[in-house]
Amino acid sequence: MSIQRPNGPAGSYFASLGVSTEVLQQVLNAALSRGGDDCDLYFEHVNSTSVSLTDGKVNQASTHVSLGMGVRVRMGDQVGYAYSEDLSPKALQTAARTAAGIANSAVQRKVATPVAIDLPNHYPVALPWDDVGIQHRVELVRKWEKAAFEADEQVQRVEVSLADAAKVIMVVRPDGRLVEDWRPMTRASVRCTAEGLGADGAMVRESSGYNVAGRAGLEFLDDDRQERLVNEAVARTVFLLDAISPSPGEMPVVLAAGPSAILLHEAIGHGMEADFNRKRISIYADKMNQNIANDQVTIVDDGTIDGARGSLNIDDEGNRTERTVLVENGILRSYMHDELSASHYGIKPTGSGRRQSFRHAPLPRMRSTVMEPGPHDPQEIIESVDQGIYCVSFANGAVHIGGGDFSFYMKTGYLIENGKLTKPIKDVNIIGNGPEALARIDMVGNDLEIDEGGWTCGKDGQSVPVSQGMPTVRVSSLVVGGEQA
Amino acid sequence: MNNLNETASKIVETAMRLGASEVTAWASQGTWTDVKQRDGRIEKWQDSQSCSASAAFFVNDRYSVHSTNDLRSDALEQFIGRAIEATRHLEPDSDRRLADPDVMGTHQDSSLDQVDNSPPEIDHRTWVDAVQTATSAAIPKNLRSVEGFVWSGSSEQVMVTSNGFSGGTATTEFGHGADISMEDSDGRLPEAADWAVSRHHSDLLNVERISQRAANRAKRRLGSGPVSSRRGAMLVENRVASRILGTLVSPMHGGSIYEQRSCLSDKLGKQIASSAFSLIDDPHIPRGLGSRPHDGDGRPTSKRDLVTDGVLQTWLLNVYYARRLELEPTTSSTSNLLVPASQHSPMELIADLPWAIQVDGFLGGNSNPATGKYSFGIRGTLYEKGEAVAPISEMNITGSIFDLLAGYIGAANDPWNSGSCRSPSLLFDDVQFSGQ
């Protein structure tokens, strides 16, 4: 039960739901009826399915369908937004006239005939989910449960879920642009509860897990990934049993390759979204072309990585995605722009305009945020620290984009003592200030890894899927939570 | 409401015709206007109207949940048919069935008063301008930017089950507030926000007071930073106390208990907090933002003690998890959370302490429901003998929820009423802060 990749020309998918070229032109005209500078129509049809296992049974399934169109009208930096869940011409025009209310000018822009644009394909799918019955999903979930119990006898409970989704979107603009994109997603999660001896010798119970996600079909779950999904879920849970809390305070922090890029996402990513800079409320607002990090540090936000959860063939405003260099050898080079901020700055958008659904106006958002590899061997980085911590996995993060203070929650890691990884540690929040933390990245490893986890980014009440990646790095000092032993 | 009843009833009917043994259907609709104005100009105006439906299907002891907003007749029928077919491929679980009709029903008291039937005519343009202008005017220096925001809306939801339950709720909501960015001397642009929400327009904190409150909050953010790591008193401001209480409530849920990943699974009837601490769930507060006449299982709601004098009284058990655990159901989730207030203002509570950190915001962090350990980033103010001495940021608090609650001293007189967690400011002792 998934939406197939449409095989007709762009525009035909929604045309089959009654949205003809003629209707599109009428709606665009209604949106510009009060003289807005520009507008966009965003059509969306989503279908998702999930199955989950608890307590030894695959006993819950869910499906979700969402269909509608959002219309945005722009007048300078001002935005009018409305949406309709009914795709009848009348309902679409009513929404368009509502959004048009933001504008008030006698000059009405001419609407060009929509012409479909070809897109690249950053998410080739070999085994689409619409060919896969619920029974096959049930078998996969069962298999992972069995493997998790077999992997470690301390595992007491296993919960598994497998979700797939596909959406078809269409963006139509008054300049004649019409783009249609089909966006698949696959996500799998295994969660374990384990019982065993804690660091103090008493029995303890812990629960944790692992999840993977990508813009792909069933082929995403190849044998290697399935094995890693289960093994990581079990290992990360059992790891917690005898892990301790580090001592609190400021210390050097080494971040392992991969998911540690949550640091980039929070410490700099959000602050580089151009809406905050257009409004002059980001801590990076006045720092363009200035040196903000060690020259080993290059950070990009890339919408074009094949199969990545954060990738897009086209953004939600109908602009090409790209690989945007945010920081080049320590120098701030570009913000991430949507249409609104790009026109404010008089430059081309970077294809970063994204939205949660047709119910939301687009904003500049991250796609896959990645730090390029540097010169150091990861082992050399660990050995360089006398007393500090090494962070392996993370739960979540947050940032204040103006004050610049950001934090991320370390789920698992190790103490570093005299250049060696020693005791396992868990469950501490780490906090710092974005520009300060960037300036304190003083060693960058040569082991870049793009994380395969199912990260979701929230901003202004909107969630979008993102990816991130990083090599091993050393931050000379951050404030680490923890308890005095 | 009639349309919604029709939609929900139609889903129940169609699903029963297509082979479901039992069905719960929900239908909801809402209408909202949100307007933001930054530094004198409207930034965004959004009008929303939405309608959607969801359903739980029980097919020969098998269970699935579904949602859609595609309510066209043929699309809906096809959607239900496929959903029921898919449900047949799951594994049976005989505890997945509706609640018994004799325990279903709705709290009949109309005093929940969730709808403002006679709100004034609202001009969002004038309203947002008033909020933003008043806030900007209240900050004579170090101001970078102010965004005022206002919203109003109404929503309705109905729930219908195949065994005869039918219930409906309707609410209205009004809210306004401001996001402020300040200019710090070192180039940082610390932000602050404040807002108020109410079910009835006449209850909304007036523009002058909300803008003043937001402005005062913003001024306190200048020059913040970490102080040294320490252990001691923490005063958690009312509006962010939900973060602490949520850490306690999350492991109370039946799912966590049943799956054995709750630190409260062996704590029923036991002392889990200082005897000064009590926590109550009250779904019947007139005009309360979390008030509701029935729960997700279609059972009438009632007021419930969760923790009394430090002793855990109950878990949050919906009908399914109660069956699994062979216990009586309580309720699926909390409604309005209350902590008894005192006569003392927050500042009176800390006036005699050598030092205390007042936390007025959390930044990230998380908790582990299996162990009760938490670690959160914080913002706030360091007080010494009741005097504010330093604005705080970039610090963490870390510990166990049990140790935190054991150190609970008492509440202030300021219950928060712009949310469903109506906690006053809470004072704890012996909290581990990490900083410089």
E strands present in A33-176: 38-54, 57-75, 78-84, 115-116, 155-172
Residue A89's pLDDT band (cuts 50, 70, 90): very high
CA-derived radius of gyration, chain B: 24
A64, pLDDT greater than 70: yes
Q: What percent of chain B has pLDDT over 70?
A: 100
Q: How many CB atoms lie within 10 A of CB A323?
A: 15
What sign for the dihedral angle of Cα B58, B63, B67, B73? negative
The answer to whether domain B2-30+47-106 and domain B111-219 are alike in fold is: yes
Q: What is the pLDDT of residues A141-176, one digit of tens each?
A: 999 999 999 999 999 999 999 999 999 999 999 999
Closest chain B CA to residue A49? B66
At residue A73, φ and ψ (nearest 5 deg) are -115, 135
Pull the structure tokens for residue B64: 């699935």
Given an 8 Å threshold on Cβ–Cβ distance, is B145 in contact with A279?
Answer: yes
Pull the structure tokens for residue A300: 């990009």
Domains of chain A, first to last: 12-241 (3.30.2290.10), 249-480 (no CATH)
Pull the structure tokens for residue A37: 């500078």
User: What is the DSSP annotation of B120-159?
Assistant: PP--HHHHHHHHHHHHHHT--SSEEEEEEEEEEEEEEEEE
Does CATH place domain B111-219 in 3.30.2290.10? yes
Q: What is the pLDDT of residues B57-86, one digit of tens each?
A: 999 999 999 999 999 889 999 999 999 999
* Beta strands A441-444 and B41-59, pairing class: unpaired
At residue B301, φ and ψ (nearest 5 deg) are -85, 160
CATH architecture observed for domain B2-30+47-106: 2-Layer Sandwich (3.30)
Nearest to B398 among A58, A159, A245 (CB): A245
Report which of B196, B214, B215 is spatially closest to residue B205, judged by C-alpha positions. B196
Q: What is the pLDDT of residues A323-351, one digit of tens each?
A: 999 999 999 999 999 999 999 999 999 99
Given an 8 Å threshold on Cβ–Cβ distance, is B69 in contact with A85?
Answer: yes
Cα separation of A300 and A268, whole Å? 11
Beta bridge partners of B311: B271, B308
Residue entry with tokens 């959390």: B362
B1, pLDDT greater than 70: no
Touching B: A residues 412-431, CB under 8 Å: 426-431
Cα separation of A428 and B397, whole Å? 9
Report pTM: 0.96
Pull the structure tokens for residue B429: 């002792």
Domain boundaries defined on chain B: 2-30+47-106, 111-219, 230-434
Residue A287's pLDDT band (cuts 50, 70, 90): very high
Cα A281 versus chain centre, distance: 23
Q: How far is CA B396 from CA A403, A405, B376, in A?
A: 16, 12, 5
CA-derived radius of gyration, chain A: 24
- The SS3 call for residue B161 is strand
> Pseudo-torsion of CA B95, B164, B169, B98, nearest 10°?
0
- Average model confidence (pLDDT) for chain A? 96
Residue A1's pLDDT band (cuts 50, 70, 90): low
Residue B111's pLDDT band (cuts 50, 70, 90): confident
Q: What is the pLDDT of residues A105-126, one digit of tens each?
A: 888 899 999 999 999 999 999 9
First CA to last CA across chain B, in angstroms? 57
Pull the structure tokens for residue B25: 């259907």
- List, in order, residues 6 or more apart from B102 with CB less than 8 Å away: none
> What's residue B40's pLDDT?
97
Cα separation of B413 and B219, whole Å? 24
Pull the structure tokens for residue B315: 């878990």
Given an 8 Å threshold on Cβ–Cβ distance, is B82 in contact with A159?
Answer: no
Closest chain A CA to residue B263? A205
Could you tell me if A335 and A341 are in contact, meaning their C-beta atoms sit under 8 angstroms apart? yes
Could you tell me if A123 and A307 are in contact, meaning their C-beta atoms sit under 8 angstroms apart? yes
- List, in order, residues 6 or more apart from A318 with CB less than 8 Å away: A40, A117, A171, A172, A173, A177, A179
Half-sphere exposure of A9 (CA within 13 A, CB side): 7
> What's residue A427's pLDDT?
96
Cα separation of B215 and B220, whole Å? 9
Cα separation of B77 and B84, whole Å? 11
CB pairs under 8 A between A and B: 259
Closest chain A CA to residue B125? A102
* Beta strands B304-308 and B279-281, pairing class: antiparallel
At residue A132, φ and ψ (nearest 5 deg) are -105, 125
Report which of B66, B381, B342, B366 is spatially closest to residue B222, judged by C-alpha positions. B381
Q: What is the pLDDT of residues B182-224, one digit of tens each?
A: 999 999 999 999 999 999 999 999 999 999 999 999 999 999 9
Cα B228 versus chain centre, distance: 33
First CA to last CA across chain A, in angstroms? 53
> What's residue A485's pLDDT?
66
Residue B31: which H helix or E strand, with range?
strand B22-38
Could you tell me if B297 and B318 are in contact, meaning their C-beta atoms sit under 8 angstroms apart? yes
Could you tell me if B297 and B329 are in contact, meaning their C-beta atoms sit under 8 angstroms apart? yes
Residue A25's pLDDT band (cuts 50, 70, 90): very high
Closest chain B CA to residue A101? B45
What sign for the dihedral angle of Cα B12, B13, B14, B19? positive
Chosen for mutation from A84, A204, A409, A478 (greatest number of chain B CBs closer than 10 Å) is A409
- Average model confidence (pLDDT) for chain B? 96
B404, pLDDT greater than 60: yes
CB < 8 Å to A431, chain B: 363-364, 377, 394-396
> What's residue B110's pLDDT?
74
